[in-house]
Amino acid sequence: MTSSTFTQNRQAALGAIPSAELISRYDRPGPRYTSYPTAAEFKDTFTESDRLAAIASAAPGPLSAYIHVPFCSSPCFYCACTKVITRRLDMADAYVNRLEREIEWVGNQFDGARSLQQLHFGGGTPTFLSIDHLSCIFGSLDRHFGLVTDSDREYSIEIDPRTVQPTTMAELAALGFNRASFGIQDFDPDVQRAVNREQTPEETAALLDAARRAGFSSLSIDLIYGLPKQTQDSFTRTLDQVIAMQPDRVAAYSYAHLPERFKPQRQIEDADLPSAAEKLGLLLLIGRKLTEAGYVAIGMDHYARPADTLAVALTDGGLHRNFQGYSTHAALDLVGFGMSAISRIGNCYSQNARTLPGYYGAIDYGALPIERGIRLTHDDRVRRETIEQIMCRGEVDEAAISEQFGINFERYFAAELAEMAQLEADGLVRRLPGKLQVTAIGRHLLRPIAMPFDAYLRRSAAAPTLHAPPVRRYSRTI
């Protein structure tokens, strides 16, 4: 595939707005598809020997690594991340000690020639760890896998601007980081107070400037729309401030309000939340402002400057989706380290223990902290590819999938394609010979377009007593 429907639809998308009636029909809970099957389908019968088998049969070559640092010094009320709130900086020593052991053990399971082309530190707050701690982890990764220094490497870290000094950016660059994402969400003081996360545009701008001077090659800003007290006026000001900082990428995520699942969200007043129509207005505002400022819309949630590797991957068909959102390196096996980290190796996903005692307990016992996972079936792999093409290319190449998996796409997905007739009548997709294409309107509703291809959701709908209904697991799609 040489180009994506998203690229062709970019200009058309600016003027293509779903009606309020269409939104109310399609605004329903659904997965974000950073993996398929989603983590909700992982089983605790998956063990270390299952993952060893996956490692043994995985393709050779470079790897991607994710390091989860769970600590934060205060809770942001919207947050759904796996984290530990503490102000005890000494907790970092114990955590890094376990991380180093895990890195050594997993490194020994690979064949020893697996350099890390991609590395991401997420959280929590990665900079809860000192530079010395981060340096220890880099040393372990280099000894047991192998770090690279070429400019193609993607070594990234999530930065909480409230906790990092500009001088720290040079220290992070000296360690090897060349990409950073800055958590902002919204600069409006009322919104910031409502979510317990107060930071100024000035301190964030100073950090971006320091990162550029230190040699970081890609800087990203994270925003969230749908937060309490947010209005189109206030978010216009935030977007103007963000655009003035000239980040290479902007990620604008939809706030998922699930207070029954995430305790800090109970601090947020329902009455302060924008309605579904107001939230759609914010989504469209983001698309319009960023596109007018020269950014390219990347599938769902992400925007990048035209020369950024994500925008280039969108054009040449090399875009993938992983746990960090969109990526150009998803073909690499991903090894996750730390509490709750997820790995994708060969045709398996596995996840580490999701609590600190569980993670420490396994390592101290001398075992890898794998808590659950899943080995993908042939059907999972067919559906994963189909869903990824919807999310990353806005177009499903039915002939290519038929050939890759030895199926007849039309027959295999007869029921799903029959459901597409309604989406086609609503203007979300277009059936062409050998193709299912997302329209300019449909690109605002990628999750509802992908959901009919999700076998687990289909089974859940057919047998609600056996599975939690989707409404309890997932955020709404707008």
Tell me if 68 contacts ligand SF4 by CB under 6 A.
no
User: 365: number of CA atoms within 13 Å, CB side?
Assistant: 10
Interface with ligand SF4 (CB under 6 A), residue from 55, 72, 282, 423: 72
The count of residues in the chain is 478
The footprint of ligand SF4 on residues 145-164 (CB under 6 A) is: 160
Which DSSP letter does residue 150 get?
S
CB of 227 to ligand SF4, least distance (A): 12
Residue 30: closest CA among 463, 391, 287: 391
Q: How far is the CB of 388 from ligand SF4 (least distance, A)?
A: 26
In whole angstroms, the minimum distance from the beta carbon of 340 to ligand SF4 comes to 12
83 binds ligand SF4 (CB under 6 A): yes
Print burial letters for 39-75: b (CB count within 10 Å at least 16), e (below 16): bebbeeebbbebbeebbeebeeebbbbbbbbbbbeeb
Span interacting with ligand SF4, options 78-86, 342-350, 365-373, 452-460, rule CB under 6 A: 78-86
State the nearest-atom distance from the C-beta of 339 to ligand SF4, in Å.
13
Choose which of 7, 118, 125, 477 interacts with ligand SF4 (CB under 6 A). Answer: 125
Rounded distance, CA 445 to CA 428, Å? 8
Query: What's the closest the beta carbon of residue 173 comes to ligand SF4, in angstroms?
Result: 22
> Is residue 180 within 8 Å of residue 156, measured between CB atoms?
yes
Residue with tokens 């020369």: 307
Is 228 among the residues that bind ligand SF4 (CB under 6 A)? Answer: no
Give CA–CA dist 365/195, Å, rounded: 39
Question: Judged by CB under 6 A, which stretch of 21-29, 51-59, 77-85, 235-243 contacts ligand SF4?
Answer: 77-85
Q: Which one of the spans 19-27, 73-81, 390-398, 414-422 is the region binding ligand SF4 (CB under 6 A)?
A: 73-81
CB atoms near residue 420 (< 10 Å): 19
DSSP letter at 9? T
Q: How far is the CB of 195 from ligand SF4 (least distance, A)?
A: 9
Question: Toward ligand SF4, which CB reaches closer, 203 or 410?
Answer: 203
- Let me know: does 83 contact 124? Beta carbons within 8 Å: yes
Q: CB of residue 41 vs ligand SF4: minimum separation in angstroms?
A: 24
The answer to whether 81 contacts ligand SF4 (rule: CB under 6 A) is yes
Residues 6+ apart with CB under 8 A from 216: 169, 173, 177, 178, 179, 180
Which tokens in the block code for residue 303?
A: 């925007």
**Residue 123 or 274 with smaller CB distance to ligand SF4:** 123
Stretch 104-123 residues interacting with ligand SF4 (CB under 6 A): 123
The DSSP result for 225-273, as a single string, is ES-TT--HHHHHHHHHHHHHT--SEEEEEEP---TTT-GGGGGS-GGGS
In eight-state DSSP terms, residue 395 is E
Interface region with ligand SF4, contact rule CB under 6 A, candidates 23-31, 72-80, 101-109, 268-276: 72-80
Among 22, 28, 75, 317, binds ligand SF4 (CB under 6 A): 75
Distance CA 325, CA 191 (A): 25
Start-end of H helices in 245-352? 276-292, 309-316
Q: Which residue among 23, 79, 96, 296 contacts ligand SF4 (CB under 6 A)?
A: 79
Question: Segment 176-205, which members bind ligand SF4 (CB under 6 A)?
Answer: 183
Which of residues 74 and 275 has its CB atom nearest to ligand SF4 in the complex? Answer: 74
Contacts with ligand SF4 by CB under 6 A lie at 72, 75-76, 79, 81, 83, 123-125, 160, 183
